[in-house]
């Protein structure tokens, strides 16, 4: 029931029904009033005609018997008559169930009858008369008094009276007909109201269903356009709206996809904020950066971004100004660019572009350190070469033995400068990706044992025990560039021997599932823990004075790392100060 009442069909039906009911009610009331007046008028006319006829009969007949017979024949049913003289004596009375004396007593008691006698025109009144059905009971009758004129004088009167039951019966029948017609009109109105409402609401219901389909993403749903009226035009407009909505949604999806691809492919972190400082959108670099911040902060902060960024965000949202700053946080450097986002003339949020400048700062530091180290490494031999060469040119040295010693120093320093320049060129080629590997299938044990045994004499002179150990069989082979790997292992063993005064240097080749693990372990001085992350950097020297005295350039480990990476391997270091150092690198089998 509630569904019908809340629908357009129910509302139209009730509206039309109330309107028609009101019209039918007014029509019925007016019609009944009209019919009642009409019946009264017709009854009055009928009584007048009957009274005139009776008066004519009375005037034309001399005897009462003849008059009674004629009146009995001509009076219609339910119509009563009496004839009274001017002395109010009833000469004739015809009313079923009522005798002449009762009627005469009624006339004598009723003043209305006396008024009728005194009038020379017909008079119609509603009077109380003896009942035809119930004795000793009076009923209301419509009485018409018609005077009998004899020689232009009122000699008596003819009274024609009729019971109102006949009129009421006619009115009741008429009322039944009127109410029947009203009921039929009500039923027909209901039927046509539902029919009309259905014709209107059926397309609307279909349109509602299609609207729900469109809201679910089914833009292929179409509204049939079979009508040419406003409903049909609405259906055409609805279909056009669906097509336009589909087109606009496709355009929006394409733009969102392009924006998503752009944000995803960006190396900078992008975070979009609402005006209430909540995060609306972020790209993968931003997700990784926020995860990094959260891990660094731990349980100390429940917010996903640092307080510094919130302060800058508040400044942008308050002053509606773009802000660019570089901030150092937890040893990392970030460049923040925050711009407001507008919705019309109001700020709805802000977008922050964050660039991690830590690597750039590190590279800048490496560059400055590189220049300083190269300058430092070249300045000493150049100064020595210049000084000794000037001494030779000025013949300042007279002793031949001293001259030979100076010449040897100049030769050694020039060789060291040559090694430095060669190492720099090799490292530059490696880091630029221009290094070419010439791989061969080589036996593992014999290759690494040969390289290790090159240092047997040096180890013997330093009283250091040099040991080679392998888990591989003699027929095991590996694909490597022999010269490059020899350069790596030579550098590691040479460093181990130079920094080990006594003890042992052990070269171990172990078998992993897909790698060959080569370790160079010594019992030398060791490397401080703070310096371990930088041992593979260019010009790293734990002791610059000792390294220079032993002829090192500080580039060997950087070159070794690049060679191992070129072989798709990895190199690492582990050291304990004053207990020894272990360098380990992995080479894949394929």
Pair of tokens at residue 378: 């070249």
Residue 333: exposure state from Cβ atoms within 10 A (0-12, 13-18, ≥19): middle
* Torsion 192-195-201-203 (CA) sign: negative
CB-based contact 43:167 (threshold 8 Å): yes
How far is CA 428 from its chain centroid? 54
E-strand ranges in 496-579 read 503-511, 515-522, 570-576
C-alpha to C-alpha distance for 563 and 439, rounded to whole angstroms: 12
In the block, residue with structure tokens 């036996």:
443
Q: What is the third-level CATH fold of 435-588?
A: Heat Shock Protein 90 (3.30.565)
Residues of the chain with pLDDT under 50: 544-550
Mapped onto helix, strand or coil, the DSSP state of residue 134 is coil
pLDDT at 238: 77
Provide the 8-state DSSP code for 132.
S
Provide the 8-state DSSP code for 110.
-
Which pairing describes strands 515-522 and 503-511: parallel, antiparallel, or unpaired?
A: antiparallel
pLDDT at 301: 58
CATH number of 34-170: 3.30.450.20
CB-based contact 496:581 (threshold 8 Å): yes
266-356: CATH class: alpha beta
C-alpha to C-alpha distance for 471 and 516, rounded to whole angstroms: 10
Residues paired with residue 510 on neighbouring β-strands, in sequence order:
517
Query: Could you read off the pLDDT of 8-19 as tens digits, one per residue?
Result: 666 777 777 778
Pair of tokens at residue 158: 């003819």
Residues 6+ away with beta carbon under 8 Å from 110? 127, 128
Provide the 8-state DSSP code for 30.
H
In the block, residue with structure tokens 């964050």:
354
Residue 135: exposure state from Cβ atoms within 10 A (0-12, 13-18, ≥19): exposed
In the block, residue with structure tokens 């060959």:
516
Domain ranges in the chain with CATH number 3.30.565.10? 435-588
How far is CA 524 from its chain centroid? 66
From the DSSP assignment, how many helices (H) and strands (E) are in the chain? 16, 17
Query: Could you read off the pLDDT of 112-147 as tens digits, one per residue?
Result: 666 666 666 677 766 777 766 666 677 777 777 777
pLDDT at 7: 62
Domain ranges in the chain with CATH number 1.10.287.130? 361-429
In the block, residue with structure tokens 């630029």:
432
Domain ranges in the chain with CATH number 3.30.450.20? 34-170, 266-356
DSSP codes of every residue in 289-343: HHHHHHHHHGGG--SSS-HHHHHHHHHHHHHT--EEEEEEETTEEEEEEEEEEEE
C-alpha to C-alpha distance for 263 and 261, rounded to whole angstroms: 5
C-alpha to C-alpha distance for 237 and 71, rounded to whole angstroms: 83
C-alpha to C-alpha distance for 163 and 140, rounded to whole angstroms: 7
C-alpha to C-alpha distance for 113 and 105, rounded to whole angstroms: 11
pLDDT at 33: 78
- Of the options 1.25.10.10, 3.40.640.10, 3.90.1420.10, 1.10.287.130, the CATH number for the domain spanning 361-429: 1.10.287.130
pLDDT at 345: 78
How far is CA 280 from its chain centroid? 13
Which pairing describes strands 90-94 and 477-480: parallel, antiparallel, or unpaired?
A: unpaired
DSSP codes of every residue in 11-25: HHHHHHHHHHHHHHH
pLDDT at 546: 43
């Amino acid at each position: 029931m509630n569904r019908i009442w809340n629908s357009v069909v129910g509302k139209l039906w009730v509206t039309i029904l109330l309107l028609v009911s009101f019209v039918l009610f007014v029509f019925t009331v007016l019609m009944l009033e009209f019919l009642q007046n009409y019946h009264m008028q017709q009854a009055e006319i009928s009584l007048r005609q009957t009274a005139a006829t009776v008066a004519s009969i009375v005037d034309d007949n001399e005897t009462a018997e003849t008059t009674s017979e004629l009146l009995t024949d001509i009076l219609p049913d339910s119509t009563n008559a009496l004839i009274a003289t001017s002395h109010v004596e009833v000469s004739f009375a015809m009313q079923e169930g009522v005798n002449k004396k009762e009627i005469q007593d009624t006339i004598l008691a009723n003043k209305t009858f006396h008024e009728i006698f005194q009038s020379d025109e017909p008079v119609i009144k509603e009077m109380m008369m003896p009942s035809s059905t119930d004795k000793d009971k009076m009923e209301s009758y419509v009485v018409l008094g018609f005077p009998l004129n004899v020689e232009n004088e009122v000699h008596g009167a003819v009274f024609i009276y009729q019971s109102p039951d006949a009129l009421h019966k006619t009115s009741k029948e008429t009322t039944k007909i009127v109410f029947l017609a009203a009921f039929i009109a009500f039923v027909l109105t209901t039927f046509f109201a539902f029919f009309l409402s259905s014709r209107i609401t059926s397309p609307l219901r279909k349109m509602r269903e299609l609207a729900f389909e469109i809201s679910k993403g089914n833009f292929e749903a179409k509204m049939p356009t079979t009508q040419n009226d406003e409903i049909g035009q609405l259906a055409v407009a609805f279909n056009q709206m669906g097509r336009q909505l589909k087109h606009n949604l496709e355009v929006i999806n394409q733009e969102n996809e392009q924006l998503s691809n752009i944000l995803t492919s960006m190396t900078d972190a992008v975070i979009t904020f609402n005006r209430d400082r909540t995060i609306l959108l972020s790209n993968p670099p931003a997700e990784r950066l926020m995860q990094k911040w959260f891990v660094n902060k731990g349980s100390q902060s429940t917010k996903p971004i640092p307080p510094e960024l919130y302060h800058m965000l508040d400044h942008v949202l308050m002053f509606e100004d773009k802000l660019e700053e570089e901030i150092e946080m937890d040893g990392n450097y970030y460049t923040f660019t925050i711009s407001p986002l507008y919705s019309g003339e109001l700020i709805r949020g802000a977008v922050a572009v964050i660039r991690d400048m830590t690597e750039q700062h590190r590279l800048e530091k490496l560059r400055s350190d590189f220049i300083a180290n190269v300058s430092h490494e070249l300045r000493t031999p150049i100064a020595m070469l210049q000084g000794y060469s000037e001494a030779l040119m000025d013949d300042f040295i007279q002793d031949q033995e001293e001259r030979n010693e100076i010449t040897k120093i100049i030769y050694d320093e020039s060789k060291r400068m040559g090694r430095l320049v060669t190492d720099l060129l090799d490292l530059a080629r490696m880091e630029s990706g221009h290094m070419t590997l010439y791989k061969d299938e080589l036996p593992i044990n014999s290759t690494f044992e040969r390289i290790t045994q090159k240092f047997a004499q040096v180890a013997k002179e330093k009283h250091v025990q040099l040991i080679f150990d392998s888990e591989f069989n003699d027929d095991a082979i590996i694909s490597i560039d022999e010269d490059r790997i020899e350069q790596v292992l030579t550098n590691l063993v040479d460093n181990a021997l130079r920094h080990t005064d006594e003890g042992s240097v052990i070269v171990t080749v172990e078998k992993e599932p897909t790698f060959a693990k080569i370790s160079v372990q010594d019992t030398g001085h060791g490397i401080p823990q703070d310096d371990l992350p930088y041992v593979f950097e260019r010009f790293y020297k734990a002791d610059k004075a000792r390294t220079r005295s032993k002829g090192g350039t500080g580039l060997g480990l950087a070159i070794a790392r690049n060679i191992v990476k070129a072989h798709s391997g990895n190199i690492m270091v582990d050291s304990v100060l004053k207990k020894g150092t272990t360098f380990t690198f992995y080479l894949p089998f394929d």
